[in-house]
Homo-oligomer: A and B are copies of this chain.
């Protein structure tokens, strides 16, 4: 109920800087007409006149009501005479009145806002996650505050602060590739502000997490390569500080073990996800005396980059070298040959994470449980591993 209302009847009052001002008023007295009159009134309270958004007081004065009544009418309180409610609503519309969430939030001590901190949003993965989260948040009447850390720890810390300062009711976080210290996030826990990790999670903080089964995904990816006949499978892994990198590495190794293939350290490279470096490592692998006949990359951008280099070198894909990525990003169906990859239920990740967060927001702190929700992945086979 309330949520619906908030979505549609939101009014706003944003205030301004130092600008001249047009203030509306109803001249105390007898004015009870429904014709709206705007008069220029000096704002005696401040030395500099400032922009003034219409408030419930403006409405109250013009209608000769108390602000409480106006407030009640606006919030859809039952105990307001239909007639006055209409009067208020009409005038409010005429004046372009918008509720001031700043004030509402301050007095209600909650912002009806959830924050999302992502490392980047240029590849399609995070935007889609965000859309999923937004979908759920919207339904519940929450606004979403998005911050991207630009893969920088510093920025992530600043973002966390901004979230705190803006009093978000909860936060969804996916770490940057360089985050190793989690104090800035532990704060949320200490302050009992719901926090949910997704994708790039951290196990040092005991809160709900939403991930895909990275281990199994990597396992499937690797096994697929083995099944198409590959034996020297390289793995371009992410930084070991990221849990998902470790899991994917494990899956990769276990798949090799299961099929009695050796784990060759030279074919395993952990890197910081900076694509410029990826190039270097791919070239290194290709130049090996005994180059790999397949590459499993920690994510699609990396795999795509590798594929480009491999093609540029004139190697045949998948014959000489096959490639598998992880995520099923936008580009993987565009490149040629298409990139075989592990699809994640991206939008669901956002949905589930938001759901978990809202559940926490709506419940007693004491009942919070650090559930980890593991979503399923799916192998998408394309030309980079199997000829059409």
Contact = CB atoms under 8 A, between A and B. Distances in A.
B167 A14 contact: yes
Contact of A100 (B16, B99, B167, B304): B167
B106 A103 contact: yes
Interface in A180-197: 187, 190-193
Contacts of A20: 364-366
A366 B11 CA distance: 25
A103 B105 CA distance: 9
Interface string A39-65: 000000000001101000000000000
B12 A165 contact: yes
A168 interface: yes
A299 to B, nearest CB: 15
Nearest to A301: B330
Contacts of A130: 121
Contacts of A335: 334-336
Interface string A186-216: 0100111100000000000000000000000
B148 A110 contact: no
Interface stretch (A25-33, A156-164, A249-257): A156-164
Nearest to A121: B127
Interface string A9-22: 01111111111100
A265 interface: no
Contacts of A148: 131, 134
A70 to B, nearest CB: 17
Given A101-B166, A122-B330, A109 B304 contact: no
A127 B109 CA distance: 32
A192 B98 contact: no
A104 to B, nearest CB: 8
Number of this chain's copies in the assembly equals 2
Contacts of A122: 124, 127-128, 131, 330
A106 B102 contact: yes
A290 interface: no
A8 B154 CA distance: 11
Contact of A10 (B15, B108, B161, B192): B161
Contacts of A105: 102
Interface string A104-127: 011011110000000001111001
Contact of A14 (B16, B110, B190, B365): B110
Contact of A96 (B12, B50, B191): B191
Best-buried of A50, A109, A110 by chain B (most CB within 10 Å): A109
Given A16-B169, A51-B192, A98 B330 contact: no
A12 B134 contact: no
Q: Shortest 4 CB-CB distances between A and B: which pairs?
A: A15-B109, A12-B164, A14-B167, A12-B165
Given A15-B167, A102-B105, A334-B335, 11 more contacts: A14-B110, A14-B167, A19-B192, A51-B191, A96-B190, A98-B161, A98-B164, A98-B165, A100-B167, A145-B145, A146-B146
13 contacts: A10-B164, A14-B168, A15-B109, A16-B193, A50-B109, A100-B106, A101-B167, A102-B106, A102-B111, A122-B128, A145-B145, A331-B331, A335-B335
Interface of A: 7-8, 10-20, 50-51, 53, 96, 98-103, 105-106, 108-111, 121-124, 127-128, 130-131, 134, 143, 145-146, 148, 150, 158, 161-169, 187, 190-193, 304, 308, 330-331, 334-336, 361-362, 364-366
